[in-house]
Every structure is written in C-alpha cells, then in structure tokens.
Amino acid sequence: MKSKFTWIFTLLLAFFIQFSFAQKRTVTGVISDANGALPLTTVKVVGAQKGIEADMDGRYAIEVNAGDKLEFSYTGYETQIIPVGSQNTINVTLKAAVTTLTDVVVDSYRAQAKPKSANAVAVVTSKTIEGRPNASFVQTLQGQIPGLSISSGSGQPGSNNTTVILRGAGSINGNIEPLYVIDGVPQNSDNFRSINPGDIESVSVLKDAGATAIYGNRGANGVIVVKTKRASYDSSLNIKYIGQTGFSEMQSNRYHLMNSQQLLTLQRTYDSGGRGVGKSDDEIAAYRTYRWTDYFYRTGVSHNHQLSLSAGSKNLTSYTSLGFNDTEGILKGSDLKRFNFRSNLSGKSNDDKFNYSTVFTANFSRSNLVSSLGTGGVNQNYVLGAIQAVPYLYPEYVANPGTDNLTRGYPGSQWLFEKGANLEYTPWYLQDKLNGFKNFSEEVKGIGQLQASYKITPDLVAATQFGIDYTQINSYNRTAPDSFNGLYFRNTDENQEFGGSMSESFSRSVAMTTTTSLSYSKTFAEKHSIDAGIYTEYLRANGKSFGYTQNGLDPIFYADGATNGWIPYQSSNNFYVPDASASKSKAGLFSYFATADYDYDSKYGLSGTVRRDASYRFAGDYRWGTFWSISGRWNIDREKFMEGSKFTMLKLRASYGTTGNQDVLSTGVFGAGTLPRPQYGISSGYNNGIGYNLTQLPKDDLRWEIVTQTNIGTDFEVFNKKLRGTIDVYKKVTSDLFQPVQISAVNGTSSIYANFGSLSNKGVELKLDYDVISTKDARLTVNFNGSYNKNKIIDLPSVTGTNWDGSSLNGLREGGPLYEYYVTRYAGVNPANGNLLFYKKDGTITENPLQSDRVWTNKSLYPKYQGGFGLDGEYKGIFATAMFTYVLKSYRFDQDYSSLMDPTDLDLFNKSQDLLNYWTPDNRVTDVPALYATNASLGNFSDRFLVDASYVRLRYITVGYNFKKTLLEGTPFSTVRVYGQAENLATWSKWRGFDAESNRAGDFAQYPTPKIFTFGLEVQF
C-alpha cells in the first residue's frame, strides 16, 4: 500500500512540474442563466482545490494553462466543465440544477426531464438516504413523499415487517404494496435488509396511472424505482469513506408499572392466591423492586462502514463500493450483520452510438431474531416478560422450594421444570430461554443487470436489458435439550426421554427479466417533438425450498449446529424421527407494450401507454389483460401572458388510466392459490389412513383486480424559485376485487373466490419547499408535505352489505373504510356497583350489551392524514437537518394496556398503577371498574382500549460540520465532514406504549422501534 501511494505522489509531482513550466494565460467571460447574469458563480480549474468567484455581473477572470478544463458551479444549477483550448474568452450559460421539480423522471423504461413529464412522480435523492442508520432504505423514505404511508411493525434489526402503502390500500385480500425496481430489476419482495442504502443515488415514486400503467399487471399499487450510484465520464478517481458508530435505546412509555409494594398489596386485597396474600405491611415492604425491562432490553451498539471508489475516462465509468454493518438490537438476542459489494460500470463507443452498462451487487446478511413476538407465550416472548414480569423476582435470586426466603443462585432449567408451570416465574423462563435458544437467518442476495443500446440512426435506438434477482435464505432454530423449554415440551405422558429440537430450512429464488425495445425520437420544425417506443418483456421465476426439524437431542453429545446429539430411530415410538418438508415453484409473465410522447414547443405535451400482459396465474381468455393510460400537460409559464410574472415554473397536468393487480391473494410471486382448477389436500381418513379433501372448487373466469385512476396536479416555482411546490388530487377505484362469494353448501363449501365488488381511494397531496435564506454563506430551506386519503368500500358480495365473521373487532361494510372497527361503545363505570357501562345502539346505557349493539365506528388502522415537515440549513460549513413526521386519524387497540389493567391475573403478572384507581364504595367516581366487576369480560368487545394512535415524531435530526477547503490545503482530502444525528428522538401521541407507530390493528408485546443516536465521519480524496 505504501508503494502505491509513493507512485501516486510521484505521478502528481511530475504533473506539477509539467504545469509549472507551461505558459500561463488568463481566460475571461460572463456567466449567466436563462434570466441573465449569474453573480458569485464559482470558477476553478478541474483538479484544483481553490477557485475564484464571478462578480455581481457574472464576469470572471482566471489564470489557466493550455489543456486545462474549467469547472463552473453555482448552487441550484448544473455544473459545467469546459476545455480551455486556444480561446481567451469563454461565456457560459448554466442550466437549472436538479431539484424535485426539474429532476429527470425515470421509470426504468424511459427518462424525461420533469418539466416535460405529465405524471405524478416524487424523487428523493441520496442526501436524505445516505448515512441514515436504518437497516432498510425504505424506512428512510418515511415522511418525505406525500401519499406514501410507511409503518414499521417491528424495531428488530433485519425484520421484514414494514408496510408501505401508496395512496391508500387498494385491495381487500390482495397485495397492497408497491412494486420495487432496483436498477431496472423488479424485486420479488420488499425485503431489503441486505441492500446497502449508501449505494442509492435516488428513489423515484411513481404514483398515478400515467406513470404506472407501463408496468401493467404489477403497477396497481404504485412503483418505487431505485437508481444506484454511478461515476461520470471524464472524472478523476474519487475515494469516499463513511464511518458511523451508533447507540440505540428503547423509547419511553406511560404504562406506569407498579412497584413490588403496590403489586403485593393489591394481591393481598384481591385475595386470589398471589404472593402478597396473608403478608403484613412489614413483610411486603422488605421486597425490592426490579424492572425487567432493564434485563431484557439493552443499549444496542452499531457500526457502519462504507467505502466507494468512482472514476471515469472518455469511454468508461466505474463505481465500486464495499460496506459492512453491525447492528445490535435493543432486545437481547437480536442483531444484524451485513456485508455488501457493488460494481456499476458504464461504457460507450467513440461515436456514442453504442452504450452499455452493467450492475452487479452481492450482499450477505445474518440476523439473530427473537421469536414469538406478539404472543402470550410466558416462556417464549421476551417483550411480554419485560413488560409484565412481577417486580419482586430478580435475575440474581431464586425462591427456594417451599419457602419465601430468597437465596443467591440462578434458577436452573431442571429446577424450573420440577417446580412446574408457575406463571409467576415468567421472567425466569425467559431468562433461561436466552441461554438455551438460538434463532438466526442468513441471506445471500445478488442483483445483476446488463443493458445495451445502439443508435441505428440518430433518431432510432434499439436496446436490450437482462436482469436477475437471486435470493437464498438459510434459517436455523434450536432449543437446547437441557433448557426449560426443551424439558417442558417433551411428551412426558408417553415417556419421551429426550427433549430439545433443531430446525434448519433452505430457500432459493431466482427471477430473470428480459426487456427488448425499439425507441424513436425526432424533432420536427423546431417546435414539434415525438418520442415513442415499443417493448417486449418476459419474466421467469423459480423457487425451491426444503427443511427439517429434529425433535429430541442428547444433552451429553449435543453440539450447537451439529448432528452429534440426534437420537436414532426407536421402533417403540416415533418421537425422534425428523420432520421434513420441500417445495418447488415456478412463475412467469409475458408482456408487450408501447409508449408515445408528443411535445409542442415545451409548452404542451401528450403521453400515452398501452400494455398487454399474460400471467401464469389465470387460464384461458382471462390469462391476458390490457392496461393503458393517457396523460397531458400544459406548461403555463411558457405562455406569453406569463411574461413578467413571478412564476419561473407553472405546469398543469392530468392523467387517466388503468393498472392491474395479479397478486390477488398477496401470496407473492410464487403464490398459485388462485389457479382455476380443483385443489385437493391431504387429510386424515378412515382409521387414520390418508384421505383427500376438496379445498377449492374450479372457476375458470378468475382474473386481475383492475385499478382505474384519475389524477390532476400542478407543479410550480415562484418568487425567483424560492417557493417550490406540487399539488395533486386523485381518485383511485379498484374493481373486480378478489373475494369469497357465498354459494350453496351442497357444493361441499359455503363460498368460492370470485371477482366481485369495488373500493375507492380519494385524496389530496401537497408538497412545499421554501428558501428562507439563500446567500453565499448561509442557506435555510423549510419544507412541508401532507396528504389526505379517504378509503371507502363501494360494493361487497353480501345481501346486507357487510362482511363480519361474528367475533372480530373489525370487519367490512359498504360505505366504510377497510377493516373498520365494529364494537360496542364503552360508557364508563357504574358508580353504583363498579360494573362496566356500555351504550346500546340507540344511545341508551346498559351493563349487558348484545351483539346487535355493536356499531360501525368509521375508524380503522389506515390513517386519513399523514406527511412530514422540517428544515435544512447551512452556515459557513455548519449544517443542520431536521425532519418531523406525522400520522393523524389512525386507530389501534392497546392490548398491552388492556392486559396491564386486567385484575384477574395480578397474582402472576405486573399491572399498571392506573389500576389502583379501581372502583370501591369509597371511590365511586372513576373510570376503572371494580376488581370484581361481574361484566368485565364484555369490555373485550368494546372500544374501551381503542386508542387514537395519531402522532408527531421527530423522525431524525442531523447536525454537523463541513471543513472548509482552506483548512484541507496540504492534506490529501477534498472533503471532510463530521456529524451527529438522532432518529425517533421524540414522539407526541395519545398512545401510552413504547411505540406509537405500527402496522397492526392491535399491539401486544411487540418489538418497539428504538431511538438511535449516531456519530459519523465522511472523507473524500
């Protein structure tokens, strides 16, 4: 390495000597933009660290050598590089820079300058993605794009539990999430734990039918197009390193857990056999209080390192990156390690007729995952133990059998097993599981792409693209034979001697996509231009998986991950015979489509797409579907009557079209449950022999769900581009919904899937950016985005216009939102006896509501309002960025709080201090029922614990310093940047729990999203 740097230094010294002897001269000129002179533009010789600034009239003068190149740069404008040549005067006109309004719109098939785009597209650049401490880049988009709802169901590193919905949920049973396309390669799922966010250049979110119809059968829920970084032609080697260290911790809550004295005293009062029964005040006072959240949760430490190298010659560019990430979860037993490699190449011929590019990325991740989240498993769910474990048991103590004395020593697995199933020992069961359980997943993910094009004529281009998405997942799970769970789950009634288990599974999927196109671009009579293309596309996917579970391990010979302790088959029983499984899947799509764009004088534009798709999921005439769109724009700012106005951009656009959803059961690319043929399953027959049962009746007219969308929007820039914004109004209707339709039970089943019914999403979206300060030394921009969406079911296959299973807390009804809560209304506590009170359907009050007293609440999990706001500023190298996100009118059941307010098991679990305000004859005015309320169970069907989960969150804040160029003179660095940032720093909400954000209708003992504090260093040379 030392010799390499010596060689580079020698080469640079030689260039320096050569330049020193060259003849110097002065080049002058004027720099302007479309509106006139551009003052204070930076001008420098390419490769030099310093430059000069143009004066207030845009004039400059700079000393150069023959062969130099001049670089002209100004905030908000595209940088230009011009060879000096023999001229002494170089006048330059800079074009407006890439912004959210003037960016190039990319949909993987074509690219347009955004002023010429008639579609609703939002772009997020690497600035707000790179360096964020999120396992998946999807989470960094939260709050940045109006209409894009992102809710995480778990803070576990590597967990694929994030729901992304664009412009409202568009299906009842089908997939509701967007299609993801990375470098032109569609993804089979939204699992991005193995993708390095630092490699992403930009993310384009395609919203309306004008943008998504080109994806046909997969564009119903919108499309998210990810473009990774590439180098530029004629650019020198740039080396960039980003290093980060972070700390994560649990968010706060307002459950107000009891201490030992409060809980033991309440047990004594309740007299249900708890430890506090019969104890005196002095005996109760002797107990310590231990918070089990301190044991199961921790401060997670993370490290992230990224190294990238980019360079370009006249005909070739190269971008290479390496990445490593190590993230500890805040819950013990969870973490993520990730390794990434990427190589992006681009090349062209001297005459620029032939162009090609390649993408290759190889990624490996290993996740240790906690299991049984959201369950009531007292010996399985760590979060349950952290929240509800009794505070008078401690990790370092164990209760002696038959006594209440506390002696030092760890509760061993055998001791716990001999004590039996005592739910009070929940924290010790889970403490034992931490030592005797392992669950991890390893993923290898590779994405490759080859794209080539050739200009047959200056106007006609032929192109082809081949992409491959490879994913392999190996999972491992084991329960030690000498652990409590290993002993407890033996079949002791049948004298099973050995316990414990070991499971491994392997899955592999390969999806290949080929696209061939012929595009034509021509300008006529200076003002008329046409861009058109025809395409064919073929997708082929193959999946394979297998796995086994070995029950019974010998603790003497057992070794983690090995087969040493496997128990051989015994003729007297089948306890130790491994269970095995295997599957194989195939999927395919074939499409041909066309696009056409017409522009007149950059003032009026008209675009259209039509796509014909065939899916393996459907049969006969219903295998093919046709999807189309038409869109138009009017660039009002180009009109003569706008001359002299304060608008530098004002564009009106509209679109209308259709897209399809082939994933009608949300089963993924390989799901084939909708195939229109009889489906049979294996069941237990006569005398426990093998039998077969009918699981699905044949139906040969099953087809796509169809989404028809109308969009009207405007883009504008005003006040010398200080204020920039976008407004969209849309209506999206999904028809031919895939639902179970009732049929006569004489067929052997009471329903059959069919295309029936519809739902709609209507909404408004707004995005604003305003430059409060924009000077040479200071910059401050504030931003806001928001959206409103009304989701409504239009038609259901039901005589009553409802679909409710008779027991759930939510259901479907015509005129209501998806999965609307259907409950009785809680009215408080009866001051006379402490029982719960409820409203009947007619508004009167009762203690004993009937099922017929349930009402539709017009409330659901899906929010009506959401968005974000923040600021981005810089002053003399000091920079700060802050982003707040908000969600309004989202409702969820707080099942954690419900459990903490349930007195029936307070002898086994901790409770909230709020329960101490329970009704008594001396405390009649309260909202907490009596401990012995006779109708307490009826509260489970009410809205008592249905909470408005709206929140405002400080999603992230970053503060840092960019070292000035003058401070870096004499160093090998061109850029040095240090910063600190925090994610999820503060949340304001009525939600009492650890995390107001969730993608579930009810939360119980789930992994919360943590606070994350990160310190970073970025250097370039």
Looking at residue 672, its pLDDT comes to 59
Nearest to 464 by CA among 540, 538, 360: 538
Question: Tokens 């991950």 map to which residue?
Answer: 561
Interval 255-304: pLDDT, tens = 999 999 999 999 999 988 889 999 999 999 999 999 999 999 999 999 99
d(CA 885, CA 145): 11
Which stretches within 410-461 are classed as H helix? 413-419, 426-436
Contacts with 280 (C-beta within 8 Å, 6 or more apart), sequence order: none
Looking at residue 643, its pLDDT comes to 87
The three-state secondary structure class of 338 is strand
Q: What is the largest CA-CA distance in the chain?
A: 102
pTM over 0.85? The answer is yes
Q: Return the H-helix or E-strand segment holding 9.
A: helix 2-21
Nearest to 824 by CA among 846, 847, 853, 861: 853
Could you say which DSSP state residue 297 is in? Answer: B
Q: Return the H-helix or E-strand segment holding 486.
A: helix 484-488
**Are the CB atoms for 990 and 947 separated by under 8 Å?**
yes
DSSP 793-836: EEE-SSTTSEE--SS-SEEEETTS-TTEEEEBEEEEE-TTT--E
CA 791 vs. chain centroid, Å, equals 21
DSSP 266-286: HHHHHTSS-TTTT--HHHHHT
Contacts with 564 (C-beta within 8 Å, 6 or more apart), sequence order: 554, 557, 558
CB atoms within 10 A of CB 574: 9
d(CA 735, CA 661): 10
Question: Tokens 């059959």 map to which residue?
Answer: 752
Looking at residue 5, its pLDDT comes to 42
Looking at residue 515, its pLDDT comes to 96
Question: Tokens 């098991």 map to which residue?
Answer: 905
Sign of CA dihedral 557, 560, 564, 569: positive
* Tokens standing for residue 268: 């004594």
Which stretches within 206-313 are classed as H helix? 209-212, 260-270, 281-285, 293-296
Nearest to 623 by CA among 217, 154, 351, 92: 217
Q: Tell me how far CA of residue 527 lies from CA of 76, 523, 541, in angstroms.
A: 27, 7, 45
The three-state secondary structure class of 896 is helix
DSSP 978-1021: EEEEEEEEEEEES--SS-S--SSSEESS--PPPEEEEEEEEEE-
Looking at residue 684, its pLDDT comes to 67
Looking at residue 401, its pLDDT comes to 43
d(CA 117, CA 632): 8
Looking at residue 14, its pLDDT comes to 42
CA 540 vs. chain centroid, Å, equals 26
Looking at residue 12, its pLDDT comes to 39
Looking at residue 559, its pLDDT comes to 87
Question: Tokens 């021509």 map to which residue?
Answer: 522
Q: How are beta strands 223-228 and 179-182 bridged, if at all?
A: parallel
Beta bridge partners of 33: 36
**Are the CB atoms for 41 and 68 separated by under 8 Å?**
no
Looking at residue 680, its pLDDT comes to 61
Question: Tokens 């009579």 map to which residue?
Answer: 525
d(CA 461, CA 399): 80
**Are the CB atoms for 633 and 650 separated by under 8 Å?**
no
* Tokens standing for residue 694: 């009918």
* Tokens standing for residue 27: 């080049």
Burial class (CB in 10 A: 0-12, 13-18, 19+), 934: middle
d(CA 534, CA 520): 9
Interval 308-321: pLDDT, tens = 999 999 899 999 99
Residues in the chain: 1021
Looking at residue 4, its pLDDT comes to 43
Looking at residue 196, its pLDDT comes to 87
**Are the CB atoms for 94 and 77 separated by under 8 Å?**
yes
d(CA 270, CA 904): 9
* Tokens standing for residue 443: 């993923």
**Are the CB atoms for 30 and 58 separated by under 8 Å?**
yes
Given a cut of 70, the residues of the chain with pLDDT beneath it are 1-23, 34-36, 47-50, 56-57, 75-77, 96-106, 397-411, 672-689, 692-698, 746-748
**N-terminal to C-terminal alpha carbon distance within the chain:** 16
Which stretches within 137-233 are classed as H helix? 209-212
